[in-house]
């Protein structure tokens, strides 16, 4: 158990819908990262927040957005969902914002029908 928690574990929804994934980092960690894992793309970095501010963006679609709250938990919002958004979404956290080891949460499996 890494200490990173994610909810929900599984999510099944329809195309066009909007969902919110939630992540609580390990105690003391200031950075939260979101990754998407699909069969064809592997693990891809989406976005990073550090102490409430966006630090870096990766291959994140415009339909997706995220934020980190004052208590350091983070939410990833996925809207206008498409079949291709079906994937495992991981949250990771680290103490600092760059070189530290990232610890991954258990992930949320999203299925878009």
Nearest distance from residue 83's CB to other proteins, in Å?
22
Among 18, 84, 100, 111, binds other proteins (CB under 8 A): 100
The binder of other proteins chosen from 48, 81, 87, 89 (CB under 8 A): 48
Tell me if 94 contacts other proteins by CB under 8 A: yes
Give the whole-angstrom CA distance, residue 2 versus residue 106: 8
55 touching other proteins, by CB under 8 A: yes
Nearer to other proteins, 5 or 79 (CB): 5
Structure tokens at 102: 């990232």
- Encoded tokens for 14: 């329809």
The set of residues, in sequence order, having a beta carbon less than 8 Å from that of 64 and lying 6+ positions away, is 46, 76, 77, 78, 79
CB 23 within 8 A of CB 31: no
Interacting residues toward other proteins by CB under 8 A = 2, 4, 31, 33, 35, 42-45, 48, 50, 55-56, 58, 88, 90, 92, 94, 96-107
């Amino acid at each position: 158990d890494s200490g990173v928690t994610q909810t929900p574990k599984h999510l099944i929804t329809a195309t066009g819908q909007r969902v919110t994934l939630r992540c609580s980092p390990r105690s003391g960690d200031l950075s939260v990262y979101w990754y998407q894992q699909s069969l064809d793309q592997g693990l891809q970095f989406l976005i990073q927040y550090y102490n409430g501010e966006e630090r870096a963006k990766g291959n994140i679609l415009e339909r997706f957005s995220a934020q980190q709250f004052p208590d350091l938990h983070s939410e990833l919002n996925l809207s206008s969902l498409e079949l291709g958004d079906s994937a495992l979404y991981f949250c990771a956290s680290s103490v600092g914002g760059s070189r530290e080891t990232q610890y991954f949460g258990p992930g949320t499996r999203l299925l878009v029908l």
